[in-house]
Amino acid sequence: MSSTARILLGLILGALVGLALAWLDPALATRAADLVQPVGRLWLNALQMTVVPLVLALVIVGVGAASEAAASGRTARRALSVFAILLSAGAALMALVAPLLLALLPRDPATVAALRAAIPSASTVATAPNFGDWLASIVPSNAIAAAAQAAMLPLVVFALCFGFALTRIEAGRRARLIELFQALADTMIVIVRGVLWVAPVGVFALVLAVCARAGHGVIGALGGYIAMQCTMYLLATALLYPTVMLFGGIPLRRFASGIVPAQVVAASTQSSLASLPAMLESATTRLGQPNAIAALVLPLAASLFRITSPMQYIGSALFVAWIYGIEVSAAQLATGAALAVVISLGAVGLPGQVSFMATTLPVTSAMGLPVAPLGLLLAVDTIPDLFATIGNVSADLTASTLVARRAERDP
């Protein structure tokens, strides 16, 4: 049984047991929730302990990979620029539209209060700083203290500075340091995979406690989260078509029909990497892109670019804010969006559940929001993954089209 199937099984069993207890005997349901809730908290703590070293290593290695790609030629540099623009656009779209969708989600005060009470105790929610304090906090005065306090934005800024500085030192020393940080990231991933191996138990405990206390209302709330994520992924995919028409010089109908085979493979495999051969065929045969450009840009996109990743991180954080009734400020949204774009560049190659916790946790934390509900969202986020993969493959082909068009204009 796959990891995704096991987690979904834990989710379903936890929901069924919790709802049954809440219906049969609310007092017994409360006692059962008190009993299993520490198990869920223990599992979430085990995931959180890997986040700081993993994010630090991923950002440094990601900067090194991007630098090496940019050094390989003009086409690669153009591709990286397109990736950055599309990632930023996706993050901005999520930050602007997702709060509007969440405002439409019915909010029953009793259900939300029970949902908050059922989630393992959250860390103190940081109040939104004023702009001056926020700006001053971006650069850490002490990188080690930032890591100890899990201050993710200053930590990522330090990692970016470290990564860019690393590209300026002697090649042999740079290679050894990058190898060290890659080994650190690989080690953290091994730990996370071990924790995720027991994810069905942790998810079962979290969901049972939530459903036992909050009742069937939690199903509607999580359903709203799934609907929001799927809607945003579909909206981002739809906006790629006029983008190609306006900036790629390809008629809308030709682009739409040309990428269908790759989208079908993406839907069936739910893997951008497995869709790469179909993307190459669509780009060269159906869209008429030069082989040299498609063969460089599309594998690079599969390694560094996943347009729905920042959207996923921001959407999860905003749903956490919805649960707690927190008004997210413009500074918090800007922080989350910028951090989501940077982190996504280093986390593309991670497995799904590893990627979710390693990237959504720091974005949510940097926005000053509780991270305790993320264990629940990990379980249900596998459902929108189909739409996310289709969006990622469509964006990869959009990027290669835009790069090919730029190469025609400025060879």
**Going from the N-terminus, what domains does the chain have, and what CATH number goes with each?**
3-409 (1.10.3860)
pTM of the model: 0.79
Question: What's the average model confidence in pLDDT over 271-286?
Answer: 85
Can you tell me the mean pLDDT for 322-346?
Answer: 84
Which of the four pLDDT bands, split at 50, 70 and 90, describes residue 123? very low
The rounded mean pLDDT for the chain is 82
Average pLDDT over residues 11-30: 84
User: Which range, 44-48, 51-55, 403-407, is most confident?
Assistant: 403-407
Mean pLDDT along residues 298-315: 86
pLDDT score of 71 more than 80: no
Residue 126 has pLDDT above 50, yes or no: no
Diameter of the chain measured on Cα atoms: 72
What tokens does 264 get?
């079908």
Q: At what angle do helices 74-104 and 291-304 cross, to 10 degrees?
A: 50
Banded model confidence at residue 80, pLDDT cuts 50, 70, 90: confident
3-state secondary structure the chain: CCHHHHHHHHHHHHHHHHHHHHHHCHHHHHHHHHHHHHHHHHHHHHHHCCHHHHHHHHHHHHHHHHHHHHHCCHHHHHHHHHHHHHHHHHHHHHHHHHHHHHHHCCCCHHHHHHHHHHCCCCCCCCCCCCHHHHHHHCCCCCHHHHHHCCCHHHHHHHHHHHHHHHCCCCHHHHHHHHHHHHHHHHHHHHHHHHHHHCHHHHHHHHHHHHHHHHCCHHHHHHHHHHHHHHHHHHHHHHHHHHHHHHHCCCCHHHHHHHHHHHHHHHHHHCCCCCCHHHHHHHHHHHCCCCHHHHHHHHHHHHHHCCCHHHHHHHHHHHHHHHHHCCCCCHHHHHHHHHHHHHHHHHCCCCCHHHHHHHHHHHHHHHCCCCCCCHHHHHHHCCCCHHHHHHHHHHHHHHHHHHHHHHHHHCC
Per-residue pLDDT of 102-111, as tens digits, reads: 888 887 777 6
User: Is pLDDT of 239 > 50?
Assistant: yes
185-206: average pLDDT: 84
Closest by CA position to 159, among listed 343, 381, 330, 285: 343
Instruction: Compute the distance between CA of residue 58 and CA of residue 185 in angstroms, rounded to an integer.
Output: 6
